[in-house]
Structure 1
C-alpha cells in the first residue's frame, strides 16, 4: 500500500468518525461561550443515540431512507429536553455546573438503558437496517488526488458536521446574537447593563448544545455502531469536550481538534488493515483515542483561556 493509497483509506474514515465529535464539540462551544460549563455532553449524546435508534427501529418500515434523518430530528428534540435539566440547575438554581453536568451524564445513561430494557427486554437494541448512505460529490470527485481523498464515498453526516462548524463560526463571530452570547460569557454584568438578558442567552446556548449533542449521538449510533447499548457512547462526549478545549473554545478550532481525535478513532478501528499498524496489538489501538485525548489536554491546559465567566453563576446586580 503506497502512502497515497493510505491517505485515500484513512482520511475519509477519520472525517466519518469525527462527525459526531465535531457536532458535540460545537455544542460545547456555545455553552462555554455563554458562561456555562457543560460536562453533560456525554449524557446528551447517550440520550440522542438511544432515541434515534429506537425511532429508527420502530419506523424504518414506514419511512425507508428518510428514517435516519428523521432520527436526527428526534435526537435533537430529546437532546434539548435533557439539556434543559442542566439549564435549570446551572442557570436558574445556580447549582455547581460541574456537578450538574456529571449528574446529567449519569441520568442520561440510566434513563436510556432503562427505556431500552423496558422496550426490548434486554440491555441492547437490535441492529438497524436503515443507515446513512455514501455518495460521490459531482465534479469535485473528479479532481486529481484530493477528489478521491475527500469527495468520493462521502457520508452526508460528514458534510453536515463541517457545515455546522462553519455556520457556528459565522453565528458566534459575525452576528448580533453571537456578540451577545460572547458578552454574557465574558462579562455578564456589563451585558446585563446593556440590556442583554443573561438568563435567556444562557438557556438558549445550553439548548443549542443539547440539540447538537443529541444529533452527534444519533450520528454515532446510526452511522457507526448501528445499535444502542450501555457502551455505545463510551467517552465520545468527553472527547468532544477535549476537542472544544484543544480548539480554544472556537468553532473552527474545535473542528480541527475533533478531526484529530476522529483520526485516532479511525486508526483504532481500521488499523488492522494498514501495513505496519496491523502489527500493533489491538489493545493499544483501542486505547489510542483516549490516550491522545489525555495527552492533548495535558499538553494544552494552561495555554488556552476559557471565557472569563465560564462556570460562574450570574446573580443580577452582584459582581
Structure 2
C-alpha cells in the first residue's frame, strides 16, 4: 500500500477542514457567552453603578502632541454601554439563528465596550493614564510573546513544549550572569538564546530520539531548571551580587517621528532593543511558517510525519532543529526579565509566565499573530490590576491579583472551546 501525502499550499495555513460548512452548523456558544457578559455588565454598571466622572488621560508630559483628557459621566456611560452590549448580543443571536457565524470584529467591538465600561466604573472620580496602562501591558507581555512564539514553532513541528517556563528561567539567569561579568547586554542576550536552546535540545533529545512522553519531559525540565537556577542564585549570585547580578539594562530607543504619535508612539516606539526584536520575531515567524518552504515542511511534519517522510523530509532532524530554534526565541523572552525590566535575577522570577505563554498558544490556535494578541491580553490583565490599585479602585485587591489567571482560564476554556492543534503534536514518530 502506498501512502498519499496531503497537498499543502506553501502560502496558506495548513488547517483541517470540518466535515460540514461552518455556516451550516448552529453554535450558540457566542450568544450565550455574550449574554452572560451583558448580564454581568448590567449588574455592575447599572444596578451597582457609580456616580462621578471618569477621566481617561491620553497623553504624557513628554508627548509632542498633547491630546485633551476624555471625561465620561460614569453612570451614563455604564447605561449606554450596557444597551450597546445588549444590541450586539441580540445581533449575534439572530446571526446564529440564521446559521451564520458571528464575525470576529463584532466580538472584538463587544470586548472593547466591556473594557471601556469597566474602566469607567472602576475609575469614577479618578483618572486612568491610558499610555501608561498600555505601555505596562506591552512590558509584561514581552516574555509571554517570545514564549508563545517558541511554543507555536514547537507544536507546529509536533513537539509539545511544556518547558517554556524552564527556558524563560534559564534565559533570565544566564543573561544576568553573562551581562554582569562582561558588562555587555548584547552578550547577555546571546547567552540567553543559547541557554534556552540547551533546555529545548534536552527536550528534543528525550522526546524525539528516546520517545519519552513530551509532557513529562517538559515538567521535569521546568523543575530541574527552577531548582538549578535557585541553587546557583543562593550559592553564587546572592553572595556576589555586586559583580555577578548587576547586569546593565538596555536603554530605551526612541524612534524619530513614530515615537511622537499620540498614544501609540510612547507605547510602541519608545522601547528597548528586545521589544523591537519582538516586533521582528512576530512578523518573521508568521511569514516563515505560512509563506516559506521551511514553514511548509514544518507544518507537514507536525500534521502528518509519515507523509512528510515519504516525500523525503527528515522528520527527526526537522523536529530537532525547530525545537532548538524555539528554545532560542524563548530565551530572548527570559533575557527581558533581567536586561529590559527588573535589572537583576531573582529566584523563580518568571512566576509562571511560561504556562501563561502556553495558554496563549492554545488561545491563539497555534497561530503566531493570534498567540501574540492573546499574550497581549494577558499582559493587559496583569497590568490592569496594578493601575487600578494605584488609583484606589473599589475592586478588591484579591480579585485583581487573580485577574490575569482568571482571564487565562476563561480565554482557554471559555473562548477557545474545542480546538484542534497539529495532528501529530505530542506523538513520537517511529519510522517503519
Task: Give the alignment's TM-score, normalised by structure 1.
Answer: 0.90
Indicate yes or no: 2:401 matched with 1:286. Answer: yes
Q: Which residue of 2 aligns with 1:4?
A: 58
Question: What pairs up with 1:70-219 in 2 under 5 angstroms?
Answer: 70-120=187-237, 128=246, 130-151=248-269, 153-219=270-336
- Change in CA separation of 1:2 and 1:48 when aligned onto 2, cut-off 3 Å: same
What is the DSSP-based 3-state SS (H/G/I as helix, E as strand, rest coil) of the residue aligned with 1:2? strand
* 1:197-276 equivalences in 2 (<5 Å): 197-273=314-390, 275=391
What is the root-mean-square deviation of aligned Cα atoms in Å? 2.1
Structure 1 unaligned runs (5+)? 61-66
How far 1:123 sits from its partner (Å)? 11
Pair 1:144–1:225, CA change in 2 (3 A):
closer
Q: Which residue of 1 aligns with 2:89?
A: none
Comparing 154-163 with 170-179, which one deviates more in the overlay? 154-163
Relative distance call for 1:294 and 1:119 in structure 2 (3 A) is same
Taking a change above 3 Å as real, the CA distance of residues 149 and 120 of structure 1, as seen in their structure-2 partners, is: closer
Q: Conserved in 2, the CA contact under 8 Å of 1:79 and 1:210? A: yes
**Helix, strand or coil for the counterpart of 1:212?**
helix
Change in Cα spacing, 1:124 to 1:295, as seen in structure 2 (3 Å) is farther
The SS at the match of 1:159 is helix
Higher normalized contact order (CA 8 Å, seq sep 6+, divided by chain length): 1
CA distance in 1, matches of 2:297, 2:350: 33
Name the counterpart of 2:430: 315
> Which of the pair is proportionally richer in helix?
1
SS in 2 for 1:280: coil
Closer, same or farther: CA 121–150 of 1 in aligned 2, 3 Å:
closer
C-alpha displacement at 1:248, in angstroms? 0.7
8 A contact 1:16–1:157 mirrored in 2 = no
Alpha-carbon distance between aligned partners in 2 of 1:129 and 1:187, rounded to the nearest angstrom: 45
Cα–Cα, structure 1 residues 315 and 124, in superposed 2: closer, same or farther, change >3 Å? farther
1:235-257: CA deviations, max 9, x gaps? 00001101111111011111111
In terms of mean alpha carbon deviation, does 185-194 or 17-26 score higher? 17-26
Alignment length, in residue pairs? 308
Q: 1:112 to 1:127 in 2, by over 3 A?
A: closer
Higher alpha-carbon Rg? 2
CA contact (8 A) 1:187 1:309 kept: yes
Counterparts of 2:403 and 2:240, CA distance in 1: 27
Aligned partners of 1:11 and 1:150 also within 8 Å: no
Q: CA deviation at 1:268?
A: 3.3
Q: Distance in 2 between matches of 1:145 and 1:49?
A: 30
> In 1, Cα distance between the equivalents of 2:236 and 2:267?
42
CA contact (8 A) 1:128 1:222 kept: no
| 2:417 alignment counterpart | 302
Measure, in 2, the Cα distance between the counterparts of 1:124 and 1:148: 33
2:138 matched residue in structure 1? 15
- 1:26 aligns with one of 149, 162, 165: 149
> Contact conserved, 1:20 with 1:161, CA < 8 A, in 2?
no
Structure 1's 34 and 190: CA in aligned 2 closer, same or farther, altered over 3 A? same
**Higher mean displacement: 126-135 or 191-200:** 126-135
User: Do the aligned partners of 1:116 and 1:124 also contact (CA within 8 Å) in 2?
Assistant: no
Which of 158, 164, 169 is the matching residue for 1:35? 158
